[in-house]
Chain A
Amino acid sequence: MSNEFTLFTLAVKNLKRKPLRTGVLIIAIGLLVSALVFALSFTRRIDSSIKITSDRLGADLLIVPTGSRGAAEDVLLENKVKSFYMDKNILERVKQIKGIDAVTYQTYLVTMSGLCCDVPETMIIAFNQDTDFVIKPWLSKKLNRKLQKSEAIVGSESALNIGLGLTDVDSVLFGNVFKMVGVLDKTGTGFDTAVFIDENNIDDIIQKGKSVIKPDQISVILAKVKKGLDPYKVAGDIEDSIVEVDAVARKDIGKNIINTLRDINQIFFITVIVAAILSVFLTWTVFSAVANERAREIGIMRAIGAKESHVVTLFFLEVIVISSIGSIFGIAGGTTLYVLLAKSFTIMKNISTGLSGLERVSIALIGLFVGIGICIAGALMPIRRLKKMEPLLAIKEE
C-alpha cells in the first residue's frame, strides 16, 4: 500500500472487489462513447469539409449550367471527376446583374487514361489568370508567377501527383504536352485532386479533338457580390434573368449533401440516445445493487465520522473512475472505427478534408463528458438514497 490513504484509494479498492461488474459497466460506457465519437467524427468531418470548401472558394456565388448544381458540388466537395458546360457569353450577362462585383470562370475537363492523356482519370481545371480570385492565392504561394502556356500545377492529392511522385516532368494532356511545375498546398477542397492550367490552352486542346469541349464553353462562373448586398437576393436575380443557369449562394453549397445525410445523422443519434438511456439504466441498476450491498459499510463509515459529502464523494469517485476508463476506451474505439470505416462510406472516401486537431480534441472531450455525465445520472438516485439514511438504519439494512 502507498503512504497515501484517501477516499480515492477506497474508491479504487471498492471497484476492484467486483471486477466483472465494474468491467461490464466500463464496456457499456465504452460502447456508448464509441458510437458517439464515431457519429460525431463522421458528421463533423462532412460539415467541416463543406464549410471549408465554401469558405475557401473565395466567391459569394457559384453559377453553373441549369441542372448541374449537384455535379458542381460533387467536384468541389467530393473530388469527383465531372464535366458540364455552358456558353461563355453567359459570363457577360451575369456581369450585368445588379450587385455583381467581380466574376471569374473555370472550365472543367476530364482526362481518360490511354485515350487522350498519359495520366489516370483526373479533373483538369482551366482558369483565367487575369480575373481569377479563387486559385490565385494558392498559386502565388507556390509559384509566385503566372502559369505559362503548356504549364500545369497539380493539387496536393492529385492522382497525377501521387502517380508520378514528383513534379517538373512532362505529361500529355489531351494530346498536348504539359510541364508540371509545382504542387499546390492542401486546400481541403475538391481542388486538391485537380490539375490546373491556364485557359489559353483550351484552344489547343479543342484543336487536337481529344476532349468533348467545344469553343467558347465554360463550366462554372464564380462571382463576388458587392459589399452589403444579400448574396441570396443576387442569386435569385441571376436565376430570374438567366434561365440557363443555377446560382448557388456560398452558404448553400453542400446543402443537398447535408439534406441527404440528415437521415443517416438521425439514425446515428437515435442509436446513441438509445444506448445512452440503456447505459443510464445499467448504471442505475449497478449502483442500486452496490448501495444495497454496501449500506452497512456506509452506516459504519457514517458512525465513525463520515459526512454525507464523504459518502457522495466516495461514490462519485467510483463513478468517475469507471466512466473515465470507459470513455477513454470509447474515444479510442470510436476513433479507430471512424478511421477504419470512413472509407466504406462513399462520401467520406471522396472528401479530402480530415478532422483538425481541435475538432478531434473537442469530439474526445464531448465523448468524455457524455460518458461521465451518463454514469453520474444513473448513479445519482442510489447515492442520494444512501447518503440520506441514518447511520444506524443503514447498519441494520442488511
Chain B
Amino acid sequence: MSQIALINLVKTFSVGSEKITAVKDVSLNVEKGDFLSIIGHSGSGKTTLISMIGGIIGPTSGTIMFNGTNIYSLDSDSLSGYRSNKIGFMFQFASLLPILTAKENLLLPLIFTSGKPSGPSNEQKAVELLKMVGLGDKINTYPSQLSGGQQRRVAIARAFMNDPEVILADEPTGDLDEETEADMMQFFKTMNEEKGITFIMVTHNTDLARQTKRQLKMTLGSIKEL
C-alpha cells in the first residue's frame, strides 16, 4: 500500500460564471521515504495539488488516500489532526505570525497537537531546529527583524516541529541565496534519508528538482512523471 495515493483527482474553481479546472484527473502513488519534485509553470496547478494532499482544500472529485484512509472522508477535527500529526507544510509565501518570535512560531503547531503548554523539551527541540537551519542566533527575534530568507528558514524549521511523516514544500527555497538554498536542500535530503520523511516539493528550479528521487511535471493541471 502506498503512503499517499491520488486517484482521479480533480479541482475546479468558480470565478464568476467561469469554471477553471486547476487539477485534471491526477492519479499518483507516493511511497514512504519518496522525495518528489513537481515542476511546472505558474498556474499549472502545483500549489492546488499539494494543498489538496495537505488537507487544506478539498478536491472537486477524486480521492486522496493516506496510509489507506480517504482523508476527505474524515470529519473537520480528524482532518486537522491529519494536518497536525502527519503533514509539515512549507508555504510559498511568508507564513510566520508577526507577533511571535522565531521560537514561538516553531512552538505554535504544538499547541494544536496536544493542547498542552510547551515544555522545556519542546523549546529545546525548537532551538535545535533553528540551529539546524542556521538561525541559532535568532531564536527570540520577531519576523519583522528577519530578512525574507531568514523568515523562510524559520518556516522550514517549523514544518519539522511535529515530526511529520510527509513534508509538503511549496517553493521552499524561493527567497534563499544559492548557498543557503544548497544548505536547505542538503538538510531536506538528510531528513529524508535519516528519518524517512517523505518530501513532495514544488519548485521552478530544475537544478533543485534534479536532486530529488522522482521528478514530475504539471502542465495545465495534468501531471506526468519525467
Q: What residues of chain A have their CB less than 8 Å away from a CB belonging to chain B?
A: 1, 3-7, 9-10, 13-14, 16-17, 297, 299-310, 390-393, 395
Contact = CB atoms under 8 A, between A and B. Distances in A.
A3 B119 CA distance: 7
A299 B54 CA distance: 13
A1 B140 contact: yes
Interface in B84-142: 84-85, 89, 91, 95, 97-101, 103-104, 107-109, 111-113, 117-120, 123, 140
Contacts of B58: 390
Contacts of B83: 302-305
Contact of A6 (B56, B84, B99, B111): B111
A4 B84 contact: no
User: For the side of the interface on B, what is the size category?
Assistant: 35 or more
B135 to A, nearest CB: 17
B140 A310 contact: no
Contacts of B54: 303
17 contacts: A5-B104, A13-B99, A13-B100, A16-B99, A300-B91, A300-B97, A301-B97, A302-B56, A304-B89, A305-B80, A305-B83, A305-B112, A307-B80, A307-B112, A310-B112, A392-B51, A392-B57
Interface in B142-170: 158, 162
Contacts of A391: 56-57
A193 B137 CA distance: 75
A392 B54 CA distance: 10
Given A13-B100, A304-B158, A310-B112, A393 B57 contact: yes
A6 to B, nearest CB: 5
B77 A309 contact: yes
Given A1-B104, A310-B111, 15 more contacts: A3-B117, A5-B107, A10-B108, A13-B99, A17-B98, A302-B83, A303-B83, A304-B158, A305-B81, A306-B112, A308-B80, A310-B80, A390-B56, A391-B57, A395-B56
A17 B99 contact: yes
B76 interface: yes
B56 A305 contact: no
A5 B117 contact: yes
A392 to B, nearest CB: 4
A16 B80 CA distance: 28
Nearest to A300: B95
Contacts of B108: 10, 301, 304
Contact of A304 (B84, B100, B120, B123): B84
B112 A3 contact: no
Contacts of A310: 80, 111-112
Given A4-B118, A308-B77, A303 B89 contact: yes
Contacts of A4: 117-118
- Residue among A3, A13, A300, A391 with max Cβ neighbours from chain B (10 Å): A300
A304 B111 CA distance: 10
A302 B83 CA distance: 8
Contacts of B109: 304-305
Contacts of A5: 104, 107, 111, 117-118
B111 A10 contact: yes
Nearest to A2: B117
A396 to B, nearest CB: 10
B117 A6 contact: yes
Nearest to B161: A304
A19 B140 CA distance: 22
Contacts of A392: 51, 56-57
Nearest to A299: B56
A305 B97 CA distance: 15
Nearest to A16: B99
B191 to A, nearest CB: 17
Kindly name the residue among A1, A4, A305 whose own CB sees the greatest number of chain B CB atoms within 10 A: A305
Contacts of A300: 91, 95, 97
Nearest to B107: A5
Contacts of A14: 99
Contact of B85 (A13, A305, A308): A305
A10 B111 CA distance: 10
Contact of B112 (A9, A297, A304): A304
Nearest to B84: A305
A307 B77 contact: yes
Nearest to B100: A13
B80 A306 contact: yes
A9 to B, nearest CB: 8
A297 B97 contact: yes
B57 A390 contact: yes
A130 B147 CA distance: 94
A4 B118 CA distance: 6
Contacts of B80: 302, 305-308, 310
A300 B112 CA distance: 12
Nearest to B76: A308
A3 B51 CA distance: 33
What 6 A-B pairs are tightest by C-beta distance, nearest first? A305-B84, A305-B112, A391-B56, A392-B57, A307-B80, A4-B117
B130 to A, nearest CB: 14
A310 B104 CA distance: 17
Nearest to A9: B104
Contacts of A16: 99
> Which of A10, A307, A310 gathers most chain B CB within 10 Å?
A307
Contacts of A301: 97, 108, 112
A22 to B, nearest CB: 13
